[in-house]
Amino acid sequence: MTQDHPLTDSQIDAIAEKAARRALQIVYAEVGQGVLKKLAWLVGLCVVGAALWLAGKNSLPTGR
């Protein structure tokens, strides 16, 4: 059995503030993941580019 209890303005403000903080945490987490993915792509491109450049100059070991 549930009973309705009216909330005070301070309780409503506290709930709204907590919800806003949680929403910002979610947004920051998603933005952070996007930045990390882009950074990983950039690092991967740099590594492949450097390997191709070194291979073109015959500077990589042949493994023999």
For the stretch 11-56, pLDDT in tens is 999 999 999 999 999 999 999 999 999 999 999 999 999 999 999 9
DSSP 8-state class, residue 60: S
Q: For residue 58, which phi and psi values (nearest 5 degrees)?
A: 55, 40
pTM: 0.57
Distance CA 46, CA 53 (A): 10
Delimit the domains of the chain by residue range.
Answer: 16-56
Q: What are the start-end ranges of the E strands in 1-64? A: none
| Distant-in-sequence, close-in-space partners of 15: CB < 8 Å, separation ≥ 6 | 7
Task: Read off the pLDDT of residues 11-21 as tens digits, 9 standing for 90 and up.
Answer: 999 999 999 99
